[in-house]
Structure 1
Amino acid sequence: MRILTLLLAALAMFAALPAQAERVRDLGTFDGVRPNQLTGYGIVVGLDGSGDDNFEYVTQAMRGVSGRLGLTLPPGVSPGLKNAAAVIVTAELPAFAKPGQTIDVTVSTIGRADSLRGGSLVLSPLYGADGQVYAMAQGNLAVGGLGVSGRDGSQVTVNVPTVGRIADGATVERAVATGFDSQGELRFNLHNADFQTASRMRDAINYRFPGSTRVVDGVTLSIVMPFGGDARAEMIAAIEMIDVTPAETPARVIVNSRTGTVVINSAVRLSPAAISHGRLVVRIQEDERIIQPEPFSRGVTAVEQASDVSFEAEETRLAMLDSGANLSEVVDALNMLGVGASDLVVILEALKQAGALQAEMVIL
């Protein structure tokens, strides 16, 4: 209860603060200036008996690897591959990455390998969504997990030993065309759709670069750019550092029913409402009594259940909220009622159903 009170009080304190100006670069990104996901299939070798053993797809992949190295396995031969594992390799290709640069890769098992510790990834191509190869990955894995097992089946696992990472493990082979230096206009996309924020950003950019920016919709602004990479980069750098005061976020209450977490933002308002909340606590205590028969009665010993039922009704208090009550007043009213996290969820849902809570409720 004390933790919930401190949380609500902190939210009320932040609610009283005025909106702060944010840099343009923190409110969105330029269209095309984004990372791209890469994925590929590979083989990790050099494991200490913790590999996939005789899985067919691992054997087939090893035949392909051996073939590229000039070694052909005889037909019908199925090598034991306890020291090899089939893996999925993933990476993120940054914007403007050029051939020859390196990126980090993550390697994860897809079979029954127990651990990738000590393994090395064989040269593997990484594909983009268009099916083209954009990078080649290879290197020794750094595994943060540890798995140990005994012959009797007991085992100890620390973190996840079936996932590893290779720093600078992939070399970029192909650049992604962004159209950065060829388009007459660049589009800027807000992280959160809001027409007021878009309008304020348009006015701020036009104040610095008159007539350059127009609003396309609640997310996108179109900015006229000069041609030439140098002039264009200078203009973008200046735009990204312009301060814009974003519009107040929509009123929203976030409820996590599994953990009992409730977050109320500063835009939440209440219509006039009276809140009364009380709880009834019922306690049932079960005891067993042994009953012995009378001497020479030929009876048998029996067990009798003895139940003690009691209840306690907590005092009900009433809190009144005036029209347009803000977050601070809501917090004060709920603290006066002494409600816990689970009770708070019930009260907020009841206020929403009564039409007194002017906010969107998001149940996680």
Structure 2
Amino acid sequence: MMARQLWWAALLLGVSCACAAAPAETIRIKDIGKMAGWRANALTGYGLVTGLAGTGDSSRNKTTRQSIANMLSRYDLTVVADDVQSRNVAAVMVTASLSPFARPGDAFDVTITSIGDARSLVGGALMLAPLKAANGQIYALAQGALSVGGYKYDMNGNVVQKNHPTVASIPGGATVEQGVATDVTNAGTSVTFVLADPDYTTASRVAHAINQSLGLGIELAVAQDASGIAIQIPESRRSRVTDFLTAIENVAVEPDRRAKVVINERTGTVVSGGDVRISKVAVSQGDLKVTIMTENTVSQPLLLIRVNQGRYGTPVSNTQVEVSEGAETGFVAATNNTVADLVQALTRTKTNTRDIISILRAVKAAGALHAELIVQ
């Protein structure tokens, strides 16, 4: 069966026509990178979630009890931490990402995660929590009712749970108190465009496309390396840098693409570019079948039955292993084809994905697959 399948694969590869190459696709520069300095800022904070229906941290969590005592002291209430026995409060961490051009008063989402032994955050509300950056300064304040995409209820050993009830979010729950001064220009005279996937060919094409689109007759964009393109801002555009950057972002370019084949062995997924080439190679795969048969019997001698009345015999398992290999092996000859042709041909012959992955890895090891093989 395997020999017949691979024979059909060879036939399909042999009759595949050499179609004309598809026209290259051009995309905007803003879709393959960003301006240097454009980055989000991570914020973190510590807070308390109240209003839980007995699903908060237990009395064993000293951090939560101390936090409750400290919070009440702000309202002129003196409570010893050891006297706090409430399970309606949970200690949480608050995380968020501050956009590069955030201004005071802007709202953004925050994520709440439990750090204690709380069972669920359903129905809780976050008390006012300051959010700090890595420099220790407060940039936002978070507060509000939690939105939990799950639940957990347990009673008498029975547990019903959906998703992760100890993780929640507050849409628009944080307010910016201190904005971030983001300047993507270098003293207002130049900018640097950074590619998401560094490549010398793509960087050179981007610089060439920018110089052609501006039409000023001078070379303003220069590829510094495989990732960065330095762009000079003309003096006539320095008063309106935003309009200049808008024109730069919408320049169309044809990026170069590296040949890659991505294999996920856990899910049996193979993803590759349609034009990844395969040199002349022969693929041969045998058909091995292993059969294991187990027969369970009971050994019960007659003399033992008479001497030990009422006792059972001894179970005995007899196992047989048979290995059979097909008389013929499959053969596929791939000549100047692509990975897409080979995978499509093998799929039509009902070759399973695991075998296709093994074949592609063997072709790569033979030096016939001209692409980077990424195994996840």
Per the normalisation by structure 1, the TM-score is 0.86
For 2:352 and 2:196, how far apart are their aligned partners in 1? 34
Q: Is it true that 1:215 corresponds to 2:228 in the alignment?
A: no
Instruction: Name the counterpart of 2:329.
Output: 316
Contact 1:144 1:159 in 2 (8 A): yes
Supply the distance in 1 between the matched residues of 2:87 and 2:290 (Cα, whole angstroms): 60
- Give the match for residue 249 of structure 2: 240
Structure 1 window deviating more from structure 2 (329-338 vs 37-46): it is 329-338
Distance verdict in 2 for CA 1:77–1:309, change over 3 Å: closer
- The whole-number CA distance in structure 1 between the counterparts of 2:165 and 2:194 is 39
Q: Is there any run of 5+ residues in structure 1 with no aligned partner, and where?
A: none
Query: Is residue 350 of structure 1 aligned with residue 356 of structure 2?
Result: no
Q: Report whether the alignment pairs 1:157 with 2:137.
A: no
- Quick one: which amino acid aligns to residue 341 of structure 1? T
Q: 1:129 aligns with which of 131, 134, 137?
A: 134
Q: Secondary structure at the match of 1:139?
A: strand
Cα deviation, residue 256, structure 1: 1.5
The Cα of 1:180 is off from its aligned counterpart by 3.7
For 1:331 and 1:82, the matched residues in 2 are separated by 58
Correspondence 1:41-190 to 2 at 5 A: 41-54=46-59, 55-67=61-73, 69-75=74-80, 77-150=82-155, 152-180=156-184, 182-190=187-195
Contact 2:150/2:164 (CA < 8 Å) preserved in 1?
Answer: yes
Equivalent-residue separation in structure 2 for 1:171 and 1:14 (angstroms): 57
Task: Read off the aligned partner of 2:146 and give its amino acid letter.
Answer: L
1:233 is matched by which residue type in structure 2?
A: T
CA contact (8 A) 1:15 1:265 kept: no
**What amino acid does structure 2 have at the position aligned with 1:347?**
I
User: How much does 1:305 deviate?
Assistant: 5.2
SS state of the match for residue 337, structure 2? coil
CA displacement 1:113-165 (0-9 Å, x = unmatched): 11111111111111112221110111111112111101x21100012211111
- Pair 293,47 (structure 1): closer, same or farther in 2 beyond 3 Å: closer
CA distance in 1, matches of 2:314, 2:142: 76
Classify the secondary structure of the residue corresponding to 1:199: helix
Q: Relative to 1, partners in 2 of residues 1:229 and 1:313: Cα closer, same or farther, differing over 3 Å?
A: same
Tell me the CA shift for residue 269 of structure 1: 2.1
CA distance in 1, matches of 2:109, 2:88: 24
* Aligned residue among 258, 267, 282 for 1:259: 267
Q: CA offset at residue 90 of structure 1?
A: 0.9
1:21: Cα distance to partner? 0.9
Q: 1:325 aligns with which of 330, 334, 337?
A: 337
1:287 Cα offset (Å): 2.2
3-state SS of paired residue (1:52): coil
Distance 1:354 1:66, change over 3 A: same
Q: 1 CA distance for matches of 2:232 and 2:254?
A: 22
Residue pair 1:319, 1:333 contacting (<8 A) in 2 also: no
What displacement does 1:273 show? 1.2
Please give the per-residue CA displacement for 1:290-341, whole angstroms capped at 9, x wherever unaligned.
678789x97997766555654543442211122x432344335544775322
Task: Map Cα deviations across residues 224-276 of structure 1 (whole Å, 9 max, x no partner).
Answer: 235788611111112212211111x2222212222222222234222221111
Query: 1:291–1:304: 8 Å Cα contact kept in structure 2?
Result: yes
Q: Percent identity?
A: 37
Number of the residue aligned with 1:268:
276
User: Alpha-carbon deviation of 1:206?
Assistant: 1.0
Taking structure 1 as reference, are residues 144 and 305 closer, same or farther at Cα in structure 2, changes over 3 Å only? closer
CA contact (8 A) 1:38 1:129 kept: yes
How far did residue 355 of structure 1 move?
1.8
Amino acid at match of 1:40: G
Superposed displacement of residue 73, structure 1: 2.1
C-alpha distance in 1 between matches for 2:88 and 2:315: 63
Partner in structure 2 of residue 286 of structure 1: 294
Q: C-alpha distance in 1, partners of 2:84/2:261?
A: 59
* CA RMSD between the two structures: 3.2
SS in 2 for 1:358: coil
- For these two proteins, the number of residue pairs brought into alignment is 352
In 1: Cα distance, 2:361 partner to 2:319 partner: 36
